[in-house]
Structure 1
Amino acid sequence: MIMFLYFLIVVFFISSGVYKKRYIRNMASKNVYSEKISIIIPAKDEENNIETILTSCLNQNYSKELYEVVLINDRSKDKTLELAKKFEKEFKNLKIITIKKKESNLYGKQNALDVGIKNATGDLILITDADCKINKNWVRRMSKYFAGKDLGMVIGKTEITHMQNPNFLYRLQTVAHRFLMEIAQVPIMFGYYTSGIGNNLAFRKNAYIKIGGYENLGESILDDEILIRGFARKGYKLAAGFTKNSIVETNPMKSYKELFNQHKRWIVGSLNIFTPSGLLVFVQYFFNIYTIYSLFTGDKSVIFKLIGDYLLYSKLDIENGRILRIVDKIAIVFFVPFYITALGTAAIINPKTNWKEQKYKKKILKK
């Protein structure tokens, strides 16, 4: 019965694709957003990525008079600032702010974002990360969602950058990332929220001010989730950005250890059963532990879970350009229960995580 319930949930997510097409049509707007826009980019030790993201942000298919790029150099020890300053002479709409010392109680990235937003002159805020890639129509597409609509925030889509001759690690994380995006965006179509990924967000600055900003929301490893939750709780309308031009690309993890640590950091940040994402983490943890139990005890109902996962990964793979072979999907179906169980157990036993040489610890089950 438990596994059949899981199967029904999977069927719902798969069938949501039909509604997604209608949702995209309803969100389409012929209007053009005409107010000023600010792109916020927090950067800490990003010398290998900073030129790429600045080049793409500063060469948008959008009037340079109507948008600015605010780079927050967050105590970088490498050549991030030196490389960024090379862009200042050519691009007058680039603003570089350097944080030399953290003066708030907010976590590192939260603090950088808060500083950037406070110094932004745009009415609409767009956020991405320094290690991401955006297309030339990103600003135009994300801003159009707000044209003539009463929206507070748009949660954009993120994809893993395409790799030539992908290995199993790449295939695994692309499917995992697609799944996370489904969990974040599908509920929004039906008026609910769970979570989001902070490297592709857009929101109105006045709404950010009205909810009190990060200082009022409190510290969190997941700056994106706490911000989304803050907007939702204050009654602001949220929307999901599915279109091609609203997609941001992010680099894949290079090792299983990097991927595990990234996912553990996200889970530690979500370990609060009183939030939607926290509840989802516990539900996933339970289902996958039960899957392992069923596999070893011979419970035949586990077939519903395995078939459901195979169908789900197949659907995600179709949307991702069909990079998975049948053997990959079968391997992932059996690998994921053990992976999720290990992740959840590690996060519960040791809710400590590192990001950019900063250590964080999450208090579990905190309202």
Structure 2
Amino acid sequence: MNFGVFLFLIVFSLLLIILALSITSSFMKKNYRLFEPKISVIIPAYNEEKNIKKCIQTILKSNYDKNKLEIICVDDGSTDRTVKVIKELSKKNKNIRLVKGNHKGKSKALNLGIKNSKLNYVLTVDADTILDRNFIKEIIRPFADKNVGATNGIVLIRKPKKIIEHFQLVEYYFNNLIRNSFSTIFDNGIWFFGAAACFNKKILEKAGLFHDKVLTEDMDISLKIFEKGYKVLTVRKAVYYTQGCRNLNELFSQRMRWFFGGLQCTFRHKKLWKRKAFSIKYLFFNQVFWALFSIIIIPMVIYQVNYWMPSEGLLSTFSYLFRWFSLAGPVYVLYKIPDWGLSLINIFGVLSGIIMFIIIIFSITKFKGRINLQKLLVAFFYFPYTLILNLILTSAIVKYTFSKKKHFIK
């Protein structure tokens, strides 16, 4: 078995695991009993005058008892009208409090809000996040089980308009499916998204709160909570919306932070690799494999595209590139099997492309998304988007390799 076959065998296996778990989880339902304690909602904000009012309004419009909510807005040294907006809202609602920080970053702002919290449960919400009306009621329910340390919800892109936002939306559907499937089957989620997440305050403090020396503080705290022996869950019915990256520069900046932070957490918590939990083993293997894959896939694609490039004319070249960078490629290979015969790399490559398309469509329908022409086109041309993500991940690996602060010390 040559290296290319081995590589695509792993890709195929990882996708097959996701598909199998996704289908299995669809037959399993998590019915958490009603649990409605008082909650501190903490919103860290830095120069969020355009977003924070709408964020707070969605919290106030939720179907959760407003008398059970205290909203703590932590201003992290904003230089715009953020403080003024918060003060105006607090005059109309006694549940809103303003706490001022000194621009020390999101983690410090979150910790400051937690220290000012008076209640046993903490919901952290990014200032540019919009909560679904049922979000709070659903995100808190699992805490009826005292072994639950943290919960996060299903994140979607808010009103996508640009092509790049539609690709992110489909990517989020895909990630939501993975997180929800693992949480449902193994009673422990992976890839914790902290833009809107809930915590048992005592367990959060026991885990050491948020660390400011890691770029993905949400992933770090979820692993620390798991390390302490508590459950970290993804709640399917807790839906919220975030602003997508509007151009490649924003996407590059965001994903560099995510991928670099992911590498920090992977090596910071490497002692968890020894745990028997399948979800954790999958998480770490997935992180390491895709990091290595990202380094290999770009030059491999460039070489393969150039090597087989036709020379018959413009139409032939366009047709060739169209097949390479869309689902038409795997379908075309299936069509040509009678002429080309079967090979392991064709089998695993073709099946990986087809399974990926099936998973994407399945993920959209699972979270009540509407299958339309836009989403079908995005799924059809999803491969080039993955190459962009792999390029960003490669950049993060290079930065991580030569960074003096690869991970933080306790």
**Is 1:68 matched with 2:115?**
no
Q: Deviations over 1:149-168 (max 9, x none)?
A: 532211211111133xx442
Q: CA deviation at 1:170?
A: 1.9
The separation in 2 between residues aligned to 1:186 and 1:362, in whole angstroms, is 37
SS class of match (1:155): strand
Change (3 A) 1:317 1:101: closer
Q: CA deviation at 1:174?
A: 0.8
SS class of match (2:191): coil
SS class of match (1:156): strand
Q: RMSD of aligned C-alpha atoms?
A: 2.6
Q: Deviations over 1:295-320 (max 9, x none)?
A: 44775343233223322333234343
**1:159 alignment partner in structure 2:** 156
Selected match of 1:309 from 352, 356, 371? 356
SS class of match (2:66): coil
Q: CA deviation at 1:283?
A: 1.4
**Residue-pair matches, total:** 344
Aligned partners of 2:78 and 2:103 also within 8 Å: no
The separation in 1 between residues aligned to 2:175 and 2:236, in whole angstroms, is 14
Selected match of 1:32 from 20, 27, 35? 35
SS class of match (1:159): strand
The separation in 2 between residues aligned to 1:194 and 1:256, in whole angstroms, is 26
Aligned partners of 2:22 and 2:177 also within 8 Å: no
**Which structure 1 residue ranges, 5 or more long, are not aligned?**
103-107, 353-360
Amino acid at match of 1:199: A
Question: Normalization by structure 1: what TM-score?
Answer: 0.84
**1:356 alignment partner in structure 2:** none
**1:253 alignment partner in structure 2:** 245
Indicate the larger mover: 90-99 or 52-61.
Answer: 52-61
Q: CA deviation at 1:202?
A: 0.9
Indicate the larger mover: 62-71 or 110-119.
Answer: 62-71
Which residues of 2 match residues 69-108 of structure 1 at below 5 A?
69-100=71-102, 102=104, 108=105
Aligned partners of 2:15 and 2:352 also within 8 Å: no
Amino acid at match of 1:170: E
Q: CA deviation at 1:82?
A: 0.4
Q: CA deviation at 1:92?
A: 0.8
**Which structure 2 residue ranges, 5 or more long, are not aligned?**
1-5, 270-279, 309-344
**1:355 alignment partner in structure 2:** none
Amino acid at match of 1:32: F
**Is 1:145 matched with 2:129?**
no
Aligned partners of 1:72 and 1:116 also within 8 Å: yes
Sequence identity (%): 23
Amino acid at match of 1:4: L
The answer to which structure has the higher helix fraction is 2
Larger Cα-atom Rg: 2
Aligned partners of 1:42 and 1:129 also within 8 Å: yes
**Is 1:194 matched with 2:190?**
yes
User: Segments of 4+ in structure 1 off by > 6 A?
Assistant: none
**1:280 alignment partner in structure 2:** 286
Q: Deviations over 1:256-303 (max 9, x none)?
A: 211121111100111244356564333123335555526447753432
Change (3 A) 1:265 1:101: closer
Amino acid at match of 2:137: R
